[in-house]
Chain A
Amino acid sequence: MLRRRLNRLLGGDERRVDSRTIYVGHRSSSTTEAFIPPKFCDNRIVSSKYTVWNFLPKNLFEQFRRIANFYFLIIFLVQVIVDTPTSPVTSGLPLFFVITVTAIKQGYEDWLRHKADNEVNKYPVTVLEQGRKIRKESEKIKVGDVVEVEEDETFPCDLILLQSSRDDDTCFVTTASLDGESNHKTHYTVPDTEKDLESLNATIECEQPQPDLYKFVGRMHIYKNEQEPAVRSLGPENLLLKGATLKNTQKICGVAVYTGMETKMALNYQGKSQKRSAVEKSINAFLLVYLCILVSKALVCTTLKYVWQSKPGQDEPWYNEKTQREKDTNLYLKMFTDFLSFMVLFNFIIPVSMYVTVEMQKFLGSFFITWDKDFFDPEIKEGALVNTSDLNEELGQVEYVFTDKTGTLTQNNMEFIECCIDGFQYKYRDANSELDGFCVTDGPVNKVQEKAGREREELFLRALCLCHTVQVKESTKQSQGDGLIDQVDGFGVDGEVPRPPQEQRGFIASSPDEVALVKGAMRYGFTFLGLESKTMKILTRNNDVEMYELLHVLNFDPVRRRMSVIVRSKSGDTLLFCKGADSSIFPRVRQEEVERIRMNVERNATEGYRTLCVAYKYLSAEEYAQADAGLREARLALQDREEQLITIYNQVETGMSLIGATAVEDRLQEEAAETMEALQGAGIKVWVLTGDKMETAKSTCYACRLFQRNTELLELTVRTLDDGGRRREERLHELLLEYHKKAVQDAPPVKAGVTRTWSSATQDYGFIIDGATLSMVLNSSSESNSSRYKNLFLQICQNCASVLCCRMAPLQKAQIVKMVKNSKGSPITLSIGDGANDVSMILEAHVGIGIKGKEGRQAVRNSDYAIPKLKHLKKLLLAHGHLYYVRIAHLVQYFFYKNLCFILPQFLYQFFCGYSQQPLYDAAYLTMYNICFTSMPILAYSLLEQHICMEVLLDNSTLYREIAKNAMLRWGPFLYWTLLGVFHGLLFFFGVRYLFSNPALQDNGQVFGNWSYGTIVFTVLVFTVTLKLALDTRHWTWINHFVIWGSLAFYMFFSFFWGGIIWPFLKQQRLYFVFANMLSSVSAWLVIILLILLSLLPEILLVVFRKPRGPHARQIAAVTPLSYKHLKERE
Chain B
Amino acid sequence: MVKEEQELANRPDNTAFTQQRLPAWQPMLSAGIVIPGFVLIGLAFIGIGVALFVTSRSIQVLEFDYTGVDQNSPCFKCSDPKVLNCVCNLNFSIDSLFKGTVFFYYGLSNYYQNFRKYGVSKDDVQLSGDLTNFKTPSDTCSPYAYDSNNQPIVPCGSIANSMFNDAFKLYQIINGTNTLVPFDGKGIAWWTDYNIKYRNPSITPLKNAFNNTVKPIFWSKPAYELDTSDPANNGFINQNFLVWMRRAALPNFRKLYGRINEGDYAQGLPAGNYSLEIAYNYPVLSFDGRKKVVFSNVSWMGGKNEFLGIAYLVIGSMCVFMSIVMLIVYAKFKFPEEDGVPGH
Please give the residue numbers on chain A whose beta carbons come within 8 Å of chain B beta carbons, in ascending order: 85, 176-177, 180, 269, 313-314, 317-324, 367-368, 370-373, 375-376, 381-383, 385, 857, 860-861, 912-914, 916-919, 944, 946, 949-950, 991, 993-1014, 1031, 1034-1040, 1062, 1067-1069, 1072-1073, 1077, 1081-1083, 1086-1087, 1090, 1093-1094, 1097, 1100-1101, 1103-1104, 1107, 1109, 1113-1114, 1117, 1119-1124, 1127
Contacts and interface: CB of A to CB of B under 8 A. Distances in A.
B331 to A, nearest CB: 14
Interface of B: 1-4, 6-8, 10-14, 16, 18-31, 34, 41, 45, 48, 52, 101, 103, 105, 111-121, 123-125, 128, 138, 140, 142-144, 158, 161-162, 187-190, 192-193, 196-197, 218, 243, 246-256, 259, 283, 286-288, 296, 298-305, 307-308, 311-312, 315, 319, 322, 326, 335, 337, 342-344
A1113 B308 CA distance: 41
B256 A1000 contact: yes
27 contacts: A317-B286, A318-B162, A319-B158, A321-B144, A373-B12, A376-B11, A381-B10, A916-B115, A916-B117, A918-B115, A950-B20, A995-B307, A998-B302, A1004-B187, A1006-B189, A1006-B256, A1009-B248, A1010-B113, A1010-B114, A1010-B247, A1034-B27, A1037-B22, A1073-B197, A1087-B308, A1109-B335, A1121-B26, A1127-B21
Contacts, number: 289
Contact of A1067 (B115, B138, B161): B138
Interface centre among B6, B14, B305, B322 (most CB of A within 10 A): B305
A213 B326 CA distance: 71
Contact of A376 (B12, B114, B315, B343): B12
Contacts of A1038: 22-23
Closest 6 CB pairs of A and B: A319-B162, A1000-B303, A1013-B249, A313-B287, A371-B18, A1037-B22
Contacts of B296: 1000, 1005
Contacts of B142: 323
Nearest to A1068: B124
B115 to A, nearest CB: 4
A408 B283 CA distance: 87
A1039 B342 contact: no
A319 B34 CA distance: 54
A1109 B190 CA distance: 57
B10 A998 contact: no
Contacts of A1002: 302
Contacts of A1119: 26, 28, 342
Given A368-B18, A914-B112, A1010 B248 contact: yes
B2 A1010 contact: no
Given A1005-B256, A1007-B254, A1038-B22, A1073 B117 contact: no
A25 to B, nearest CB: 32
Contact of A999 (B4, B45, B248): B248
Contacts of A912: 114, 249-251
- Residue with the greatest number of chain B CB neighbours at <10 A, chosen from A381, A1007, A1013, A1087: A1007
A1009 B193 CA distance: 13
Contacts of B193: 1072
Given A319-B161, A861-B2, A1100-B34, A914 B251 contact: yes
A96 B216 CA distance: 41
A319 B20 CA distance: 62
B143 A324 contact: yes
Given A383-B12, A995-B305, A1120-B343, 16 more contacts: A319-B158, A320-B118, A383-B10, A913-B115, A914-B112, A916-B112, A998-B305, A1002-B302, A1007-B243, A1009-B249, A1010-B113, A1067-B140, A1100-B29, A1101-B322, A1121-B343, A1123-B23
A1109 B41 CA distance: 27
Contact of B25 (A919, A1036, A1082): A1036
B12 A372 contact: yes
A176 B4 contact: yes
Nearest to B112: A914
Q: Give the one of B16, B19, B21, B116 with max A CB within 10 A.
A: B116
A619 to B, nearest CB: 43
Given A1003-B302, A1005-B103, A1039 B22 contact: yes
A1019 to B, nearest CB: 15
Contacts of B22: 944, 1037-1039
Nearest to B309: A1086
Contact of B308 (A381, A1011, A1083, A1097): A1083
A999 B128 CA distance: 26
Nearest to B21: A1127
A371 B19 contact: yes
B251 A998 contact: no
A999 B115 contact: no
Given A999-B254, A1000-B254, A1009 B247 contact: yes
Contact of B7 (A381, A998, A1117): A381
B280 to A, nearest CB: 16
Contact of B304 (A998, A1037, A1090): A998
Contacts of A314: 287
A1000 B20 contact: no
Contacts of A313: 286-288
Nearest to B326: A1104
Nearest to A858: B2
A1099 B220 CA distance: 58
Contacts of B6: 381-382
A1035 B248 contact: no
A991 B344 CA distance: 42
B250 to A, nearest CB: 5
B124 A918 contact: no
Name, among A1003, A1062, A1086, the residue most crowded by chain B CB atoms within 10 Å (CB to CB). A1086
A1095 to B, nearest CB: 11
B342 A1121 contact: yes
Given A319-B162, A320-B158, A918-B116, A1082 B300 contact: yes
Contacts of B189: 1006
With most chain B CB atoms within 10 A of its CB, the pick from A367, A997, A1013, A1123 is A997
Contacts of A385: 3
Given A1104-B29, A1121-B343, A913 B112 contact: yes
B256 A1007 contact: yes
A322 B118 CA distance: 9
A1127 B302 contact: no
A997 B305 contact: yes
Contact of B30 (A381, A1104, A1113, A1124): A1104
A372, A950, A1002, A1109: which has the most chain B beta carbons within 10 Å? A1002
A1104 B329 CA distance: 11
A437 B216 CA distance: 108
A1073 B308 contact: no
Nearest to A1031: B29
Contact of A997 (B18, B298, B307, B344): B307
Contact of B19 (A373, A997, A1014): A373
Nearest to B114: A913
